[in-house]
């Protein structure tokens, strides 16, 4: 077990949380500043979604991603940048014709989900390796689309963070590795507590961990009230960790958190179990990322 735990801060997600928190990062400047401050507090990686500055709703706009990334890079921060590729994967069957997407559908072709990865070449990008009921929508990641995305991510030299929400997703990730579409030591993120997917429990974390390839760099997170319990379990078992306002809005019941506060608490927990938060340089070396 490495003494260093790689800590990710997911500063703003795709959920409609913008009206639930008094200081939720929405604009590119706010998102970038939260990333920079999270890095100073101990995060080695920042996981980034973007939002429409006018409405606060999630967005896949390349210009917004570019502004966030450029602000972080121009600041001199060496934090590893991890961009989501989840935008463009939601499907809601139409009320009249179920084959036609209804309101809330964002489904696009797989390479369209990588347009910002092509342009900005982050250190890391997500690869969600399975379809699931994500809240009230279907989060669509078909085997054919995933093969196309994994192949292009590999060609670009970007490290895929393999996000898995259920044990079966790990089994498909094994297939991608066997087919040569993911090389090196794979990076897995166990995503727990999402409605209608795997719950955030110690038992499920252990089951999913034991299905991973032996050479994996792995981490886990739990959403909402499960954030710090799963973080402690992951850190104690040699895994990496994630916190952030994408996953949890509170420090304690009724007390809103900031991304910096969530990172600071995560650092304390990591140290309580006898480990240290990895620096960005240490994280890059372990993940095989050339900068």
**What domains does the chain contain, in order, with CATH numbers?**
4-287 (3.20.20.70)
Tokens of 51: 């939002």
From residue 66, alpha-carbon distances to 73, 118, 221, 223, 266 in Å are: 10, 11, 27, 28, 28
Largest interatomic CA distance in the chain: 57
Confidence class for position 278, pLDDT limits 50, 70, 90? very high
- Summarised one tens digit per residue, pLDDT across range 87-114 is 999 999 999 999 999 999 999 999 999 9
Whether pLDDT at 285 is above 80 = yes
Q: How far apart are CA 129 and CA 161, in angstroms?
A: 10
Whether pLDDT at 2 is above 90 = no
- Summarised one tens digit per residue, pLDDT across range 131-168 is 999 888 999 999 999 999 999 999 999 999 999 999 99
Q: Strand 132-134's sheet: what is its strand order?
A: 90-91, 137-139, 132-134
Please tell me which residue, 14 or 235, carries the higher pLDDT value. 235
Percent of the chain's residues with pLDDT above 90: 96
Q: How many CB atoms lie within 10 A of CB 257?
A: 21
Q: How far apart are CA 17 and CA 107, in angstroms?
A: 22
Q: How far apart are CA 225 and CA 110, in angstroms?
A: 33
From residue 156, alpha-carbon distances to 25, 85, 118 in Å are: 29, 14, 7
Q: How far apart are CA 86 and CA 105, in angstroms?
A: 13
Of 140, 116, 137, the C-alpha closest to 68 is: 116
Percent of the chain's residues with pLDDT above 70: 100
- Summarised one tens digit per residue, pLDDT across range 35-90 is 999 999 999 999 999 999 999 999 999 999 999 999 999 999 999 999 999 999 99
Whether pLDDT at 1 is above 80 = no
Average pLDDT, the chain: 96
Cα torsion through 199, 203, 208, 212, rounded to 10: 160
- Is this structure's pTM higher than 0.85? yes
What pLDDT score does 135 carry?
83
Whether pLDDT at 291 is above 90 = no
**Strand pairing partners for 15?**
none
């Amino acid at each position: 077990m490495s003494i260093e735990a790689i800590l990710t801060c997911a500063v703003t997600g795709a959920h409609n949380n913008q009206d639930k928190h008094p200081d939720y990062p929405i604009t590119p400047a706010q998102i970038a500043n939260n990333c920079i401050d999270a890095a100073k507090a101990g995060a080695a990686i920042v996981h980034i979604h973007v939002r429409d500055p006018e409405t606060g709703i999630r967005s896949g706009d390349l210009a917004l991603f570019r502004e966030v990334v450029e602000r972080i890079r121009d600041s001199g921060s060496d934090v590893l940048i991890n961009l989501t590729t989840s935008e463009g994967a939601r499907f809601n069957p139409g009320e009249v014709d179920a084959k036609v997407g209804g309101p809330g559908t964002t489904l696009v072709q797989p390479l369209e989900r990588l347009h910002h990865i092509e342009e900005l070449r982050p250190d890391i990008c997500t690869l969600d390796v399975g379809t699931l009921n994500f809240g009230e929508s279907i989060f669509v990641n078909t085997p054919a689309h995933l093969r196309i995305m994994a192949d292009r991510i590999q060609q670009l030299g970007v490290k895929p963070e393999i996000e898995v929400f259920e044990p079966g997703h790990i089994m498909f990730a094994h297939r991608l590795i066997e087919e040569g579409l993911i090389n090196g030591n794979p990076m897995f993120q166990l995503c727990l507590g999402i409605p209608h997917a795997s719950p955030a429990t110690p038992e499920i974390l252990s089951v999913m961990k034991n299905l991973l390839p032996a050479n994996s760099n792995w981490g886990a997170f739990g959403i909402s009230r499960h954030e710090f319990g799963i973080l402690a379990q992951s850190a104690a078992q040699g895994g990496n960790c994630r916190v952030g306002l994408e996953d949890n809005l509170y420090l304690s019941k009724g007390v809103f958190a900031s991304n910096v506060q969530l990172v600071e608490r995560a650092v304390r927990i990591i140290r309580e179990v006898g480990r240290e938060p990895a620096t960005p340089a240490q994280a890059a070396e372990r993940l095989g990322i050339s900068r």
